[in-house]
Chain A
Amino acid sequence: MADLEQRRIIFKHIDEPGYSNDIACYVRNGGYEVLKKSVLRKPDELIDEVKKSGLRGRGGAGFPCGVKWGLVDRKSGKPIYLIVNADESEPGTFKDRYIMHQDPHQLIEGTMISCFANNVKQAYIYIRGEMPHGARILEKALAEARAAGFVGKNICGTTYSCDIFVHRGAGAYICGEETGLIESLEGKRANPRIKPPYFPAVLGLYQCPTIVNNVETLCHVKYIAEFGGIEYAKIGTPNNTGTRIFCVSGHVQRPGYYEFEAGKITMGQLLNDVCGGPLPGRKFKAVIPGGSSAKILRFGERYKGKRKVGADMVDYDWGVEDVPMDFDSLGMVGTMGGSGGVIVMDDTVNMVEALANINAFYSHESCGQCTPCREGSLWMKKITTRMVHGNARSEDAALLKSVADQIPGRTICAFGEACSWPTQSFIAKFGDEFKNYPESKKAVKPAEAQTLI
């Protein structure tokens, strides 16, 4: 199946034998050539290329990168900061890890091009604390790049100067939220800020205009600067341009990371053809397509409606396997592409227990600042944990749904959605399993079933 060829742009050199993360290897493979050319262009031109490319952020929300850059307040007279969001922490997501560990200069080049395009004089890479080697590798790479004139003073011999520093997090998921990250970078608890007024593009780091972009997104910028926005937009599908890296984990034969043109592969192709299908003797039961906060899809359900293909509206009638893996199609079936973390669960998994696991995560990671998320996430955790380890009641399903419904849209940041969508979707898709759990938990579990909470 030619269709299933990976299109490796960002992961071109990942796991390539003999490819190392030092600058010599990077330069040998053509590295920093794009930066050299970019700094001779007009910054606005580069921003334009990114706008034309249709690049959507790869951190989870899928917000168009060009639009984000367009929102930056350039008239304030204040310095503009760029922060690389390398806090990769949405469960199920593990793509940025490989970029930073194996190809750090690609990130540095993409970052520096983005800095130049936006007249940024200081950038930070906020890397999650649990990647100490990653931080060291990036620091070494930055030192190399500085020595070679690609970072720091007079980049590539021009008058343009910009430095990049690595800043380590310390184990807080909420630092992936851009304003939480900014607070953390300012040396505070990572409490996300209220928007308005604290839109990063206007009042970000140190109350200055700030761009926060995901690691992978900035790598795409390098590619866009090289080939042009229009060329880039030819990859993938309209409105879902470029490639996507899918991180597949859980119950498949070949979990791992796979880079494909966006929208050119379906869930079924990814899980069956690329990842080898379910483990021997098992069947797929459910899949979370975009990191653990994305709404779960149940194998066997159908999604029907009309969608735009070119200029026409056409009917679609999809099973989970038929859903194209792009932002828009996944949005149409009620979930999201998110960060590309695909978590697969087979028929050994009890959904109450799986949800209990997810709820434990989100209640642990809630910053605790605003009421619905702080109290709701822990309440949901307490209910699901009690169902598994204590007294499960048939009315708990309705209670869980009701609690979850009181959270999204009412919180300071999107964590409210992230922590309630799992419960909402698990109950919506597997409500019977929750209602029957008081009885079913008494039955003997399959030998392969894992403890999840």
Chain B
Amino acid sequence: MIQPAKPADLVTVNIDGKDIAVPKGTNVIEAARLINVDIPHYCYHPKLTIVGNCRMCLIEMGMPAVDPATKAPIMDPATGKQKINWIPRPQIGCGTNVSSGLHIRTQSPMVKDCREGVMEFLLINHPLDCPICDQAGECKLQEQSTGYGRGYSRFVEQKNVKPKRTQLGPRVTLDDERCILCSRCIRFSKEIAKDDVLGFIDRGSYSTLTCYPGKTLANNYSLNTVDICPVGALTSTDFRFKMRVWFLKQTNSIDTESSVGANTVVWSREGAIYRITPRRNDDVNDTWMADSGRELFKSVKSADRLTAVKVNSADSALDIAINAATQLFKEGGAAVVGSGRSSVEEQFLTKKLADALKASVSLVSRVGEGDKLLVSADRNPNVRGALVTGLIKSLPSQKLTDLAAAIDAGKIKAVVSVGEDLAAAGLSAAQLAKISIVYLGTHANATSVAAKVVIPTQSVFEKNGTLVNQQFRIQKFARAVPAPAGATDDTVVLAKLAGVAATDIASVWKLIAAEVPALTTMSYANIPETGLLLDATPFAALPFVEGETLHYKPTAPVAATA
């Protein structure tokens, strides 16, 4: 018999007078979080080992009193309830795992006194440079000093002097005077990035965070140390001094550099993106993302961005271009090159277009080396979306060999490419010259140059959509910034080309829900921010290229990476 739940794994604890049931083994910080009680902390991080060094999360702890001999509960006559034996010393919340009957006080005078003491100690050697510190606005020290700081300093001695502005690596800058020695960055480098180059040297209050001389913090995850630094010690060299964080708008997005689909936040202001940071998803990327994925927004404003609709190399307008394309298709022999980088919505409409044209569909595979963490071997973020929508039945190859042969055979006269550079995908200049190309894309390339019709489209930061990652988890991204003038949402272009009446993402999803069996109950709005897992079993036999990553284990035999 299968138990519906496992009540044995839940224990009841009491936090500030409130009973809650939490999974056994949860630490006190996380248990309190469940009832919106904040226990301030610096060194604790849910995804790193616990060291208990900052002492900010000190709480009072007690257990129900029992008679040592009979084990009978000892009652408190005043309350009529079982008496609680409070431990006289405060305990760290991060290092205390809940057990049945545990009582916690997070608001007692002793706890307040502990927090105030720790705050004062952390601040005495901390520079007072918040006005020029990048961390201001998202600094835990700043936040907690509002609640537990004195507002004035009793420290009249010389502050410790430590190195300022050390370049730890190509992307991370260190200010040792701001460091509160929480060791999160050291633990991250050792435990997650497996690049043990950071450490503390010297001792006591003179302990100093250092990268081993001659080495650099250069791994592709180095910027996570900046994310988890609770203070302004580690800052992003790229973001440094660019913008105050409180001016920035946060938009949920997905890292499109591989099929891992790390959840991200895009930080923007007035149409410009300033940085990308990871967004916690315990089933996908925990709280991490690769440095490489944070660079992706830089192409948004690059010089080779397509912004003008072109028909036969002359500036044109969208509807004229759509008509021109339709004319080209009428000649017959059309083929569609879809993309593993397109969203689910775009792939769905690409399929509609291919069906309407009775055209063959190819996708271009991109394979790199997986890093076993958050960049997988499949560098297309959405090959599985193409499978789920039925755009393709088998996995794509890296070169468009079949299409090339069909062109050579004179069977194909027109090709629609959804953002794929056909030249890069193996078509020769001679082959390109033989066909009429309709190119939908964001950036100029050999294909856009050769195309008869060019329709500029939008980057992942400029539109809404969904992607299906390697786990078959459908995840959504949202528009962070407006697209440049002249660039149209791919779904709009594809809908027009396919002759489908769909004007926005909601209407596309009505069609998707009606036509794609795996997605029948869904809409863009009802997909949770952390995604939804789809049924992967129909595709279990396919030889996906990915090896193991953080939260993914390949189920099918791993294909040779040709």
Contacts and interface: CB of A to CB of B under 8 A. Distances in A.
A and B touch in the complex (CB under 8 A): yes
Interface of A: 172, 189, 194, 196-197, 363-372, 374-379, 382-383, 386, 399, 402, 406-407, 409-412
Contact of B55 (A189, A365, A411): A411
Nearest to A364: B204
A186 to B, nearest CB: 15
B55 A371 contact: yes
Given A371-B118, A371-B122, 17 more contacts: A189-B203, A194-B92, A364-B204, A366-B203, A366-B204, A368-B206, A369-B53, A370-B54, A378-B205, A379-B124, A383-B157, A399-B154, A406-B113, A406-B117, A410-B90, A410-B114, A412-B52
A370 B53 contact: yes
Given A364-B204, A375-B125, A379-B124, A370 B89 contact: no
Interface of B: 50-56, 58, 88-90, 92, 95-96, 113-114, 117-118, 120-122, 124-125, 154-158, 160, 180-181, 200, 202-207
A410 B93 CA distance: 12
A197 B203 CA distance: 24
A195 to B, nearest CB: 9
Q: Top 10 closest A-B pairs, CB basis?
A: A406-B117, A375-B121, A382-B157, A368-B207, A378-B205, A194-B52, A368-B204, A366-B204, A409-B89, A370-B53
Contact of B157 (A368, A369, A379, A406): A379
Contacts of A363: 204-205
A374 B118 contact: no
Given A375-B124, A376-B121, A370 B207 contact: no
21 contacts: A172-B203, A363-B205, A367-B204, A368-B207, A370-B52, A370-B55, A371-B53, A371-B181, A372-B117, A372-B118, A374-B205, A374-B207, A375-B121, A378-B160, A378-B204, A379-B155, A399-B154, A402-B154, A406-B117, A406-B118, A412-B55
Contacts of A411: 55
A97 B61 CA distance: 41
Contacts of B205: 363, 366, 368, 374-375, 377-378
A366 B121 CA distance: 14
Contacts of A372: 55, 117-118, 121
Given A379-B157, A406-B120, A406-B121, A368 B180 contact: no
Contacts of A365: 204
A410 B117 contact: yes
A378 B51 CA distance: 22
A369 B187 CA distance: 14
Contacts of A386: 156-157
Contacts of B51: 194, 369
A73 B278 CA distance: 42
Contacts of A369: 51, 53, 181
Nearest to B89: A409
Contacts of A383: 157
B29 to A, nearest CB: 14
Nearest to B202: A368
A36 B52 CA distance: 45
Nearest to B96: A196
Contacts of A367: 203-204
A382 B203 contact: no
B203 to A, nearest CB: 5
A368 B181 contact: yes
